[in-house]
Structures are given as structure tokens and as C-alpha cells.
Structure 1
Amino acid sequence: MLTQLEREELKSIPGDESTLIRLTSFTQKEKDLIDKRRGDANKLGFALQLCYLDYTGAVIEVGVMPNANLVTMVAKNLKIDVSKWHDYSERPTTRWEHFKELYEFFDLTPFTTVLRERVTEYLTELATRTDKGIELARDMVIWLCQEGVLVSSISVIERVCIKSLTAGRKRVYSTLTNALTKNQKTALNSLLDHHDKTHTSTLVWLRQPPLKANTKYILLHIERLSVVEGLDLPDGLGRLIHQNRLLKISREGGKMTTKDLSKFESNRRYATLAAIAVEARATLIDQIVDLHDRFINQIFNKAKRTQTEKLQQSSKDIHHQLNQFQKIGQALITAKREGMNPFDAIENVMPWSQFENSVGKATQLTTSNNYDVLHFVADGYQTLRRYTPAMLNILNLKAAPSASDLLQAIKTIQQMNNGNTRSVPSNAPLKFILKRWKPLVLTNGLIDRHYYEICALTQLKAALRSGDIYITGSRQFKDFDDYMMPLAEYRNLEKNRSLPVSIDPRCESYLEERLLTLNKNLGTVNDLASKGELPDASISESGLRVSSLKRLVPYETELLASKIVGLLPHIKITNLLAEVDQ
């Protein structure tokens, strides 16, 4: 189960300085025990065995070289030559005598059958969350050390972990299967049947990715999601087991053929199919939202192109109008200077009827329709309508209080779609509409359905990204509470005072503890201040005085750095970016 490196890791000591300092900082009782040994070699060997037994729960086996840094630090603390380690325990009897004395010192007990059953049950619970053997092996070693049990050989650890992994896997399968009804199991089995419209099974068809962001493939994905929803799996099925295990089971099942899945024993088959269905549902929801976002972007990009084309087409007319008004303006200036009738001056440039037409043309060219891209997004409304009714019906949208108005607008659109209503109700939510959209949505006291719906769907895109709106069953857009520990489990841990946090979770106790610490530290500061021993500060009747920061870098060093920078060749930033890119 374990690799050679993992086996060595279990009974080795890390080489980081903090761990080595902690292990080699012997207590007086430990020093007295070490000093009882005769000869430097035995003292060094005994001290090293003590360190290993303290950290790993096992002694250094014959022929195994301990951590070189640990040997150096222990030898330095004991003022013994490092080479004495090689002379340790030339007599096997000496080693066994040391082991016996250390076992008594640490009050260790052997690994019995009863302890094997206890640790197996403990690891089985862990195995429901992970299938990594090394993780179970590490936790087993920690558990044995905490219980004061002598850590067994690697082969025993592996056998216990393998048994726990098997039991944990079966427990996961049973947890998922027991939550299913008979009808749900039958529906899951139907996923292995041949799909009517393709040459594959329904399970393979469900897992096919989208190809393009168009209405055809969005509707096809909505159809896939409706099949998964039709399984009517229990709410929260995916949260009955750890998410890592759910994902692992789903991925394993996804790599197998339907023939292989059908050969599984019933618990494993139903659990695998349920995991695949839960993950497929989340994937399909996220992909539908992503396709919708891309399609909305396509509508806006097309509107921008239409706007650009329209501006280009009207550029000649704008230029012509400017020339005409330049001539009229010059004529009016001359008429005022010479006391002429301004109307006659205009008619000298062009007939009055032509002037009226010119003003009308200028009014048409300067309308906001030519400059705001929102005036052209309604061109994509009919295409959008091909899939949005089905999408809104299949997605279970929920909202935070900040987006409740937008969610109500989405529900209003859904009701209009289902009831074949053409006009937007007068009491429809409007608070979500941005200032830029209002002139288009609200026209002549009425609500324009095209712009109202496009505006709501555009805002939905942003609200999903921000987390203000979430979707039940989604992975990317799920409720924030789904990231948390289930409330029932939290209440149980809180009741048993076993929350996995390093502080007291009770507010009163935590504040009382922090207040005691604060008062203690304030007392220390007060004592130092009264003696004038505060570091880099002083407190007097005039207040707190903090010493100025000392200059760490000499002034001469900064001058030298400036000279060095001046010797470097100057390059263009574009050349630097091109070089980095390569």
C-alpha cells in the first residue's frame, strides 16, 4: 500500500530546525536518564533513541542511520563526538536494555488486539473521507503516540490501513445506497440502458461536453439536465459523504464502461451511479450558465458591431450636414455684422424647405440610438427566447437579500413564459434596473418586455458571479452555506466541546481569557515603563514617546547602488516584455 519513500517517512524525523530544537531540548529528568549510561557512545545512542521514540513512537532499528542533523545537534548538546554513534550498541544486549528502560520511561504499552480494533474503527471513519494510504498511516502513528502505544512495524500499519480503507469504502457505498428508494435505484439502473437518440448509453450521453455557445447546444444541455433531475435523487445526497470521496467515486465510474458498471455488486453500483449523477448535475448546471453567459456576450458584441456599422454609414451624412451648417453659420455672422435680415441670409445659402429638411436630418443623426449599444441588443431577443424559458424552469435559483428584487423579476419572467403573457405586469420589480437601462425599459409609462427581460438576464449573469444569486445543485454557483460544515454536525461538535479549533469557541470564555492576557501584558508594560526599560519607547507625564527608527542601510550604500544602476544599459520596456514572453 505504501511506497518505499512513504515507509521511510513514517519512521523518520523531519530536518526542520524548530522540530530538532524541540526534540533536543531535554528536560532535567531526561538528562539524568541519559547521564546514567556508561560511555559516550551509549549516551549518544540512548539520547537518539529517546528522540525517535518521543517523535515517531518507534526506536531506531539496527542498520538504520538516524537523521544526520539530529545526530549533530544531540552530540553538540551532550558535548560528544558525532562519530561515537557508529560505536553504539556493539553488544545487542545493551540495545535491548535501553529499549526496556525507555518503554518504562514513556509508560508505553504493546499493540494488542483490542487496540487494533480501536484504531481500525478510528481509521475507518477517516477512510470515509480519503483513500490515501499514507494519510491513514500518519494518523495511525499519531493515534498510537497519543494513546501511549508502541508503534508497530510498517507491515502491521499497512495491514490495519488496508482493512480500514476497505471498511471505509464499503461504509461510503452503504451511506449513499441506503438513502435511495427502490424507484430511485431503478431510475439509476436505467442510465446504463441505450439512449434513444444516440448510439451510446444514457450515462455516456449525459457526460458529453457542450460544443458551441448557441441555442441548439444549450437546449441539448438543458435536456440532459432534465434527465438527471428526473432521477429525483434525495436532496443533499452529495453531502452525506465527504466531497473528496464523492468526486473520486464519480471519476472512477466515469472511466468505466456501462458493462463494467453493471457487473458491480449492488451497493457499489448504486453508489457509483448516484455519485456520477450528482456530479453530472453540478457540471451540467455550471455549463448551462457558462453557455448562457457566452451567448449574452455574443448578443452584446453583435450590438456593438451593428452600432459601429451604423455610425460608419452615417459618417458621410454627418460630414455633409456640418458643411451646410458651417455655411449657414458664416452667413448669419455676416448678416449680423452688415445689418441684414438673418432669414434672407439663410435663404441665400439654401431654400428654406431644404433648411428645414436639413435640421430634421441632423436631429435624426444626433439621437442617442446611434451612440448607445443598448439600443441594438433587442435584436437578439428572439434568439434568446429560444432557450431562456426552459433554462429558467430547470434552474432552481435562490438569492441573498441584496438580490431579492432581481430574483423576483426572474420569477415574473418565468410566470409570463409559462402563462404565455405578452405584456409585463405593472407591479413587476424595477429596483434592479440600472440607470443606463431605464430609458429603454420604461417607455411612455409602460414596461418594454424585450428590454426588461434582457436587462434581467444580464443582471442575473453578474449576480451569479458575485454570489448574490446561487443555484441549488451547482458546484460553481452554490450557496455559501454549502461550503460550511452542516449545522447539525456543528451543533453536535459544539455540544460535545470537540470543535476542531485552536481557541475556546465559547465567547464568554474566550473574551475572559483574552482579558486576562491583556491585563497581564499591560502589567508587564507598566512595570517596564516605571523602570524606564521599555524598548525604543518611554512613557512619562507628557505622554508616549517612540524612538525614531534607526537607519539600517548606510547612506554610502545607497550612493553605491545609484552608481551601479547608472552603469546598467537602458532598454525599452517593450523589448523587456518581449524577452520575458519568450
Structure 2
Amino acid sequence: MYKRSGELLNKFQREEFLNSIFSMNTYELGAFYMLSKKDLKIISSKRRNSNQLGFAVQLCLCRYPGFLPDNLSIIPISLITFISKQLGLMHEDFKNYSLREATLYEHRAELQEKFGFQVLNKKNESKLQVLLVPFIERGYQTTELLIKLLELCRIEGIVVTTTLSNLEHIISKTRQKVEINIQNILTQNLTSEQKDLLDNTLKMTKDKYLSDFGWLKKNIGKTSVSSFHEILKKLHYLEKFYFIPEDLDIPIAKVKEFINLGTTYEASSLKKLSENKRFSILIVFFHKLRKTLIDMGIQIHMYQMKQVKKKSQRKLESLQKNEVKSFNQKVIKFIEIGEILIEAKKEKLNPYKILEQKIGWDKILLEIEDAKKLAKPQNFSYLNFIDNRYNYLRNYSPDFLKHFEFIPIKSSLELMKAIDVLRLMNNSKSRKLPVNIPINFLPKKWKDYVIKKDEKICKRHYEMAILDEINNEIKAGNIAVRGSEQYQNFENYLISKEEFKITDYTNYQLNFKTYIKERKEKLQSQIELLKIKLPTSKTAYGINGKIYLRKLSSEIPNNTDEFINDIFKKIPQIKLTNMLLEVSKWTNFTNEFRHLSNGKIINESELPILLSTLLALGTNIGLSKMADHTYNTSYHQLAYVSQWYLQEDSLRRAIAHLVNFQHHRSLASYWGDGTTSSSDGMRMKVPVSSFHAKYSEHLGFEKGVTVYRAVADQFQSYYTKIINIDSREAVHVLDTLLSHHTELDIKEHYTDTHGYTDQVFALCHMFGIKFAPRIKGISDLRLFYADKIDSCIKEYFHRKINFNIIERNFEDILRLIFSIHEGITSSSFILSKLGSYARKNSLAQALRELGRIEKTIYLIEYFLDADLRHRVQKGLNKGESVNALSRKLNFGQQNEYYEASYIG
């Protein structure tokens, strides 16, 4: 069970790995183990049947997987049978092969001589270590590295004839070398003064009763002005680490590892580490923290400007609501005056006398004065109510402009000049605007408020317009923020054009004309199908330029509820704790939880503590209550396990382990084959002060977050992430499909309306996944065509696809897809960026047009194919049932989250 020094797998993991590399399907057996005439000739020279079969098996194993186990009994019968049939022998002959150990080694020597295989030795081990470095730097896990190492051995013609632990030693040594090298890169230029600065952050301070490191790690609470000033304090403190470069020249996987360590370690624990490791963690952690704080500062500004608009709009709505009655009275009165005037003209009477008689001149004058008060300028809007928010914004805006540096990307130079004007005024404490200030950046809605009738400029409105435009231009991607992670130039998030041109990945060198020709043909064939089938369709009908769905008959038989209840009565009741223990014994999923610092698996004696911690967090009862109700387990033990073993990566690995285990059970195939899935969000309240929780009308205007979950057709919850409650679910769809690291091969994915955009259609298709959303108000959606459209169905189509814009941006689309696939950026981040950009953004438009091709193809199929509609509904129902189960299991603390931070 326990591992010796340098070993990375325990007994169970090693057995599991060996079983996986020797388990092959019929196709793989044929691909790797077909014997040639030359092979058969050499094999036939052996005297006994057992020796012939044994020699042949060893030859095949040398070729794939390139590993000869000491214990030949682990080789599957199916593999031996496949080889024995080619020799005309019985697989039972293999049992006698390893009786004489000398024969085994004689044959191995002959394999080297006649087939040119090398055995693993010190010389080629050094070469393998060099070849392994890039994969360690990319964050490959141990089993992934073992697979890669065997692959490298096969390429080099090396056969591993030793135990698997020797390969583990190679990985362990290479990891150590990579770690030392990365630490040297980060620390080699540090002076003694700089080292002291870093170490001083770990010392306890008298006024704060904690170290500066501990203070820096404290969560920022609300998106408030006070939080903004707390961010500035921390940014000011981090300025002393000027020697930390803006770009760290180390692999992304190591950056994430050091950040996790920095987040987890307390100052006292960091002090105990070696100097190089301690400084490496601090450098990377402070580098990340600075970027995070800058992003938070921008987000607070965006939130404040959003609140200014929201509160001003409420005042406008309140005023309009209060004035409705007065407006109505005035309209009635002026209708009365109008009718009197019409009558006077008709009867050729003096209108003034009649008005005097019927209403009274003084009353008319009074009505006119009242109407003047109600009358508003044509451009009257919420901007008329922003004055009273000016002083509130001034609580942070001067510091915001002073400490945040904005970089113009597109057409923002005038705004930059205006920002400089405000900075100078704030620095000099001047209240008067200078002459000839820039105003060309002002949008039309602001100009009437900033520039008064006498051509004078209102300083208050000018300042607020600048703050609003900073917000808008950052969102539109026209302004970058120096030092930010989320608000850079869009190009920084993609592989560069130069690098992309020389990439070896031929999958991304897609020819535009070939691709578009195929998609045009598919689109045209769907349009032809619509023309033929719609008039007589039993699933849809067209009227007045819209296509409507007919109601489908239910696929669920009658009286199923009674049957379901009978089944559930037969299922034995079991405690959650016992179930978790049983599942742990079946699957060994707990082996995925490794100590963040040393990478070791938790001791068997501490396994109940790990399971109790998982149960406490999974049911949301919390660690304190779990400790109170668990024999011989303290809160500190649970907290330690939570802190050091339950990291995001380890949780994802454990989930993947469980998903794969279920996927390979025959029972799971009754629900599906693991090729379809759905995703949906589940909103949860967060009563505590959290930077990430936002108010939502869906939660009764309380704060909360959304748990976004993907569920496969076999009922596996294979991917979960927590997102902001106001985040569009559609931007996270591809994350669930590309980042789950399970053995599921998802080919079709379902969402509801919240999970759909044209751009998601485009990217899903480019990644080979059929996107199939259930869209509310589907009859209102626009269809698009490629070239020409017959007049009989033209009313259902909006316009022609803009292929020109797709062609102009096609290489950038491929770069974007490559960047997502290779982990340079995430799909959710890119899609949220493209979604916030202005319509004039060419790449966003091109991706939208590309998606409209796929959307139209899908919608026509959805209109005409009842089976597809049933599939989509079933898939979504499965996801909803898992969410419902999750709510039941998450019973602690009234289904509310009390964590201030979360994995996003």
C-alpha cells in the first residue's frame, strides 16, 4: 500500500495502470499485434509450443506498449489468444512459458539482437528525461507521464524490462530537475535586500496581529468603495516588489501550482521551506495577486457605474410613474380645450369667449403652467438624475484615475487626453476646467448634458462621462489596463500570428474554401429538406413568415409513477457515510487526493477524515458540525485535510475517476453510451460578504452565485464550476465539454435558452460537437441562407450569410480555436470578451456569422425531427434531476453558501 522513495504510485494504482495499458479492444489488437512473415519465421524456430507463444507475446509487448512485466500472469487472456491463433496454438500453452526463468531472459536478449530493441539503461534514461521535460512543464499527471514515457520509449526503440517503479523513478528525478530549474529562473537574480523584503512579509506585525502575507491574502468583501481603497492599500504595498517581472518566464502549470501553494500555506509554514522554494512561491503569488487586485479594482468601478445607471433609472421610472396621473389629467383637459376650439371654429364663434365661459381664462393659464412643469426635453433620460451620485463617485474616482493606467487600443486617444485632463485637475485640486478640453470622445447621449446651451461645459457631467466611457471602452476591448489579467489587448489572449503559422498542428491548418463549400452544401440540403417536408410536417408548420412547433406526444408510458415508486421501495436504505466508504473501496477514487506540497496520497489511517471532510463540504453542513458529530475527529483535522488535499485539480481528478468507473460498468449503458450530455445552472444564495456574490431577482433580490453543472446521459455529473450569477451561461458551455478530462466522448450537448448563442454554435461545431439547445420562443428566431432561396420558403429566412467577413477572419478563428484547445486561454473567458465587444468587432461578427450557418442547419432539423426534440428534452431532464438531487444532498445551512471565496 505504501510507496518507497521515488515511487509515485501505490499498489492499487500500479495494478490499475498495468491493467489499463494491457486492456485492448479488437481494433487495437489488430493494429499492434499482427505478426509478419519474418516474425513467424523467427518464432517457428523455437522448439516447444509454449516457447513459440511466449516469444511471440514478448515480441508484441516490445512493440506495444514497450513494457515487459516481470509477472506475465497480468497479461490478459484476450491478448494471448489473439497471438496464439496466428500461430495455430492454444492460449493455454502460455502457462508453461515462464516456468524456466532463463528461457525468459534468453528470449529477451534475442529480441534485442534480431529486432534492434534497446533496454532501458543510464544512457538512454538521460535522453528520456530531456524528452519528458515539456510534458512535466505542461502539468501532466503521473499516469499521463507514464503513458507518455512509454510512448517516448517506443519512438526511441527502448523496451522497459524492469519494474514499473523504474519509470516512476525517471519521472520523479525529472520532476525534481524541472522544479530546481524553475526555482532558479525565479530567484537567481534576487539581491539580499530583495530577499529580505520577501521574508519580511512573513513576519508578524504588532498592529495587524498577523503577517503582511496573511493580510494580503484576506478576501476582499463587497464591491464597494471601501473595498476599492483596501485594494489600493494592497497594490501600494506590492509596489515594493518592483523586481518581480510583469511576465514570468515559467510554464503555466507551475504558475498554477505556486499560486495554489501560496494560497494554502500560512506564513509560519512558508518560513520552514527551503529559500528558493519559499521565494519562488512568494514571487509567483504576489505576481498573480497584483493582477487579481487590479482586475477587482476595475470590476468595482464597473459595478459602481452600473449602480449609478440603475439608481438613476429607478428615479426616472418613479418620476414617470408618479406623473402618470397628472399627465392623464392634463391630456384630458387639453382635449377639452381642443374640442371647444373645434366647436368655435365650426360655429364661427369667438374662441376666447367660449373658453372663458366654459373653463375660465385663469384656470387655463394655471393648466399651462402645470403642463410646463410636467414637460421634459426630448432627450430627457436617466442622465438627468445622476447629479446626486457625483459626490459618491468622487470617494474613489480620483484614486482610480491616478493609480490605474489605461492603454488605448482602438480609437480611444481623445478619451486618453480627457483622462489626463482630469488627472491634472485632481493633482492640482483645481475646480475649473481648462480651455480646449477634448470632447470628441463624448457619445451623443452625454453631449447634451456635458455641453450646455451657452456652450459651457459642466465639470460634473464631464467627469462622470469620462468615468462612464472608461467603463464602456474597457468592455468593448478598446482600452486595456496595464497589469491586468482580464482587461488586456485581446491579441494577448491568443497564440501570436507568427507562432501559429509555424505550428505543427495540421488540424488547425483548415482551408477556408474547402470548409465553407462543405458547410454551404450541408446548409443548402437542409433548406431543400425544409421546402419539401414543412408543408406536410407533423412536427412543425409555417405561417406568416414564422415556423411553429407542433406538440409532441409523450414517450413516457402511463402509470410509470407507480412503477418508479415500487422500484425505489426495493432499494435498500444506506447512510451517506457508509455509501461513501463503499464507493471508496470499489473505486479507490481517494487516491486522486494528493497533498498539495509533497504530492503524497493520504495515509490509510486518515482516510475516514478525508471522507468526513468530503461529506461535510458536499452536504454543506460545514466542518465544525461534522467534527461535533464524528467520533475521534477534530475540526483541525478536517480543516487540515480540506486545506491541503481538496484542491480544485484533485477534486476534478477524483470526479473524473468516479465518472470513468461508472462509465465502464455495464449497468450505465442502460441509460446511455456516454456520448451526449446537458448543462444547466443552479442558483445558490450567499448571505456572507463576498466579492463574487451578486444580487439577483431570481433569489428575491438576495446575493448569490450559480453552480453550473454538466451531466452525461449516464447520469454522471462530470463537470461543475461556480460562476457569477449575472454571467451568461452560454459562455461556459465549451468549458464543460473541453475541460472535464474524463473518458466520456461527448458528441452531442444540450442546453436551455440561457446556454445558447450563435458563437457557441460556431465553436462547438469547430470542436466536433453537435450543439443542440432547447430555445424558448424558437419561432421568433431568424434563419439564414447561403446563396439563393426559393420564393416558397423565403419568408422564413432573414438574409444571406456574410461569407466575406468569415473569410477575412478565418485564420483568426483558427488561432482562437487553437488557443482554447491548447489551454492558452479558456473558452468562457474568450466568449465573454467577444460577447461584451461592440458589434463592429470583426472577429466577433465573423464567429457569429459562422454560428448562424450551424444554427440554421440545427433549427431546420429541430423543426422536422421529432426524435431530436425528444433527445434534447431527455438530456435536459437528466440534468435537472441531478440538480434536484444536488439540492437534496446540499441540505446544510438552509441551502446557502457561507464561503466568501470559491473556485470560479
| SS of equivalent residue, structure 2 residue 268 | helix
Q: Residue 235 of structure 2 aligns with which residue?
A: 225
Greater share of helix: 1
CA shift in 2, pair 1:416/1:192, >3 Å: same
Report the CA distance between 1:277 and its aligned residue. Answer: 0.9
Q: Residue 9 of structure 1 aligns with which residue?
A: 17
CA shift in 2, pair 1:51/1:80, >3 Å: same
Amino acid at match of 2:381: D
Partner deviation per Cα, 1:411-470 (whole Å, 9 max, x = no partner): 343333223343445544444433322322332333333333333323333433343322
The match for 1:89 among 78, 97, 122 is 97
Q: Residue 103 of structure 1 aligns with which residue?
A: 112
The match for 1:212 among 219, 222, 240 is 222
CA shift in 2, pair 1:364/1:17, >3 Å: farther
Contact 1:129–1:242 (8 Å) recurs in 2: yes
Q: Residue 172 of structure 1 aligns with which residue?
A: 182
The match for 2:473 among 463, 474, 477 is 463
Q: Residue 456 of structure 2 aligns with which residue?
A: 446
| SS of equivalent residue, structure 2 residue 270 | helix
Contact 2:340–2:354 (8 Å) recurs in 1: yes
Report the CA distance between 1:37 and its aligned residue. Answer: 5.5
- Cα distance in 2 between the residues matched to 1:559 and 1:480: 46
Q: Residue 388 of structure 1 aligns with which residue?
A: 397
| SS of equivalent residue, structure 1 residue 443 | coil
Greater share of strand: 2
Q: Residue 248 of structure 2 aligns with which residue?
A: 239
- Cα distance in 2 between the residues matched to 1:448 and 1:261: 54
Report the CA distance between 1:127 and its aligned residue. Answer: 4.2
Contact 2:315–2:385 (8 Å) recurs in 1: yes
CA shift in 2, pair 1:23/1:63, >3 Å: closer
In the alignment, does 2:213 pair up with 1:203? yes
Q: Residue 399 of structure 1 aligns with which residue?
A: 408
Q: RMSD over aligned Cα, in angstroms?
A: 4.2
CA shift in 2, pair 1:293/1:35, >3 Å: farther
Match runs of 1:523-562 below 5 Å: none
| SS of equivalent residue, structure 1 residue 281 | helix
Amino acid at match of 1:364: K
Q: Residue 690 of structure 2 aligns with which residue?
A: none
Gaps of 5+ in 2: 1-7, 515-523, 541-549, 558-775, 778-872, 885-904
Amino acid at match of 1:337: K
Gaps of 5+ in 1: 519-545
| SS of equivalent residue, structure 1 residue 12 | helix
Match runs of 1:462-541 below 5 Å: 462-483=472-493, 501-503=504-506
In the alignment, does 2:356 pair up with 1:347? yes
- Cα distance in 2 between the residues matched to 1:348 and 1:170: 101
Q: Residue 717 of structure 2 aligns with which residue?
A: none
In the alignment, does 2:290 pair up with 1:281? yes
CA shift in 2, pair 1:547/1:157, >3 Å: closer
Match runs of 1:14-163 below 5 Å: 15=24, 19-30=28-39, 32-34=41-43, 45-67=54-76, 70-71=79-80, 74=83, 78=86, 80=88, 83-84=91-92, 86-87=94-95, 89=97, 91-92=99-100, 94-123=103-132, 127-130=136-139, 132-151=141-160, 152-163=162-173
Report the CA distance between 1:100 and its aligned residue. Answer: 3.0
322-331 or 123-132, which deviates more? 123-132
- Cα distance in 2 between the residues matched to 1:141 and 1:231: 43
Contact 1:106–1:148 (8 Å) recurs in 2: no
- Cα distance in 2 between the residues matched to 1:548 and 1:463: 41
Q: Residue 321 of structure 1 aligns with which residue?
A: 330
Partner deviation per Cα, 1:371-425 (whole Å, 9 max, x = no partner): 5212212321211111122122222322323444444443343333223343445
| SS of equivalent residue, structure 1 residue 15 | coil
406-415 or 171-180, which deviates more? 406-415
- Cα distance in 1 between the residues matched to 2:527 and 2:316: 60
- Cα distance in 1 between the residues matched to 2:15 and 2:424: 63
- Cα distance in 2 between the residues matched to 1:180 and 1:480: 32
CA shift in 2, pair 1:83/1:253, >3 Å: same
Report the CA distance between 1:267 and its aligned residue. Answer: 1.8
Contact 1:423–1:449 (8 Å) recurs in 2: yes
Partner deviation per Cα, 1:460-505 (whole Å, 9 max, x = no partner): 3343334332223322223445445699xx88x99xxxx6623599
The match for 1:336 among 336, 340, 345 is 345
In the alignment, does 2:357 pair up with 1:361? no
Identity %: 23
Partner deviation per Cα, 1:554-580 (whole Å, 9 max, x = no partner): x9xx9999999557699xx99x99987
TM-score of the superposed pair, with normalisation by structure 2: 0.52
CA shift in 2, pair 1:568/1:102, >3 Å: closer
Q: Residue 312 of structure 2 aligns with which residue?
A: 303
Amino acid at match of 1:5: Q
Partner deviation per Cα, 1:252-294 (whole Å, 9 max, x = no partner): 1332222222233322222222122112112211222222222
- Cα distance in 1 between the residues matched to 2:506 and 2:112: 33
- Cα distance in 2 between the residues matched to 1:335 and 1:547: 70
Report the CA distance between 1:54 and its aligned residue. Answer: 1.3
- Cα distance in 2 between the residues matched to 1:501 and 1:476: 29
- Cα distance in 1 between the residues matched to 2:362 and 2:438: 48
| SS of equivalent residue, structure 2 residue 159 | coil
122-131 or 262-271, which deviates more? 122-131
- Cα distance in 2 between the residues matched to 1:213 and 1:192: 28
Amino acid at match of 1:241: I
Contact 1:37–1:43 (8 Å) recurs in 2: yes
- Cα distance in 1 between the residues matched to 2:256 and 2:29: 39
CA shift in 2, pair 1:15/1:463, >3 Å: farther
- Structure of greater Rg: 1
Partner deviation per Cα, 1:172-231 (whole Å, 9 max, x = no partner): 222111243444323222212344652221111112222222211211111111111232
- Cα distance in 1 between the residues matched to 2:320 and 2:538: 59
Contact 1:426–1:447 (8 Å) recurs in 2: no
210-219 or 100-109, which deviates more? 100-109
Report the CA distance between 1:29 and its aligned residue. Answer: 3.9
| SS of equivalent residue, structure 1 residue 335 | helix
Partner deviation per Cα, 1:132-184 (whole Å, 9 max, x = no partner): 43444344333333222222422222222222222222222221112434443
- Cα distance in 2 between the residues matched to 1:348 and 1:266: 99
Contact 2:316–2:382 (8 Å) recurs in 1: yes
TM-score of the superposed pair, with normalisation by structure 1: 0.77
| SS of equivalent residue, structure 2 residue 97 | coil
- Cα distance in 2 between the residues matched to 1:106 and 1:424: 86
Amino acid at match of 1:219: H
Report the CA distance between 1:85 and its aligned residue. Answer: 6.2
| SS of equivalent residue, structure 2 residue 71 | coil
Aligned length: 530
Contact 2:422–2:463 (8 Å) recurs in 1: yes
